[in-house]
Amino acid sequence: MRMAMVSTEREDAYIPIDTNRIVGRSKLLGDLRDLIRRKHYSIRTEQAYLQWAKRFILFHGKRHPSAMGEAELVAFLNHLAVQRNVAASTQNQALNALVFLYKQLLGREDLALDNIQPAKRPERLPTVFDRGEVERHFAQMDGTPKLVAALLYGAGLRLLEGLRLRIQDIEFARSQIMVRNGKGAKDRVTLLPPGLAQPLREQMAVARQRHQEDLAAGLGEVYLPHALERKYPNAARQWAWQYVFPANSTAINPRSGKTPRHHLGESAIRRAVKQAVLAAGIDKHGRCHTLRHSFATHLLEDGYDIRTVQELLGHKDVRTTMIRSHVMNKGPMGVKSPLTRLGGF
């Protein structure tokens, strides 16, 4: 089935924020940013930590963090939870940012920050589509969003894992997808549904044309992890490292000053998935992660072992020996994707 690349607006590309706008003339925030970069944290972490540090300082009337301590931290976190009513995950991100600020930058080992308990996420059962709902949902999608969504349901990928796929991560001969640097900075192997092989080849042809145009314009680079960039300085322009789902436009990287082509942003896919749920008349709070939950549930319904499913999902509670034994004895090629049951793939 043909799933041609569809046009997306510029805001649908992932464009890193220039953190100079957050730092301003603040020496503290500048030092914090420098430390984050020395530790080679991601640009998203840099943005988040700087924003939380700035919000914390503004909340306490622009007092310097060195003049504050545990009481002020707790007051700020309580404000987020009670007055701002933010989710537990947001509270924990703020806590992590401020612990980094105090422990790593300010060296405040005297503070009992470990006593501040992370917010508990509510234990809710995940939303899952039944097989009929999945088929109705995909009937309302087309183009690139449909292909990305099909990878979430057909291979159990997280949204960012799908968007960050590189050309070399798709192994057609083995019907495998390499998921690199997934959640928890772990690599894993999952399955490539047969019905997605041709659509992915067509998508790669679009990506190759775009890459060739970039090279002709003196561009053609993509983001590489720091260690790889240092070891292979020319790899950023090589075809194997290009994104399967490149953005429609280039953008300046605020760290390097270069103009790479980023991957497609999450917003376009999230919006398309949500619109398809509504158009299909599915009375559930469906989102991108619902497709991943449905992948796992349908595999279990098909009789696959829970450890094998956990391995494909990349859940952190899978023991190393269990991962190795399943990869050697069964592997992703021994699992039939639930996507194969659907028409049109």
Whether residue 103 is found in the same domain as residue 235: no
Query: Which residues have CB under 8 Å from 77's CB, separation 6+?
Result: 91, 94, 95, 116, 119
Q: Are residues 217 and 303 in the same domain?
A: yes
Q: Say which residue the tokens 């990287």 belong to.
A: 253
Q: Which residues of 167-180 are buried (b: 16+ CB within 10 A; e: fewer)?
A: bebbeeeebbbbbe
Tell whether 100 and 243 lie within a shared domain. no
Q: What is the CATH number of the domain that holds 30?
A: 1.10.150.130
State whether 306 and 335 are in the same domain: yes
Residue 75 lies in domain: 14-115
- 82 and 209 in one domain? no
pTM of the predicted protein model: 0.78
Same domain, 55 and 204: no
- Shared domain for 111 and 187, answered yes or no, is no
d(CA 87, CA 289) in angstroms, rounded, equals 17
Count up the domains in the chain and report the number.
Answer: 2
Examine the domain organization and report whether 143 and 97 are in the same domain: no
Residue-by-residue pLDDT tens, the chain, 345 positions: 444 333 333 334 555 677 888 999 999 999 999 999 999 888 889 999 999 999 999 999 999 999 999 999 999 999 998 889 888 889 999 999 999 999 999 999 888 876 677 777 776 778 899 999 999 999 999 999 999 999 999 999 999 999 999 999 999 999 999 998 766 667 899 999 999 999 999 999 999 999 999 999 999 999 887 777 778 888 999 999 999 999 998 888 878 888 899 999 999 999 999 999 999 999 999 999 999 999 988 988 888 888 888 889 988 764 322 332 333 344 455 578 888 888 667
Cross-strand pairs, 221: none
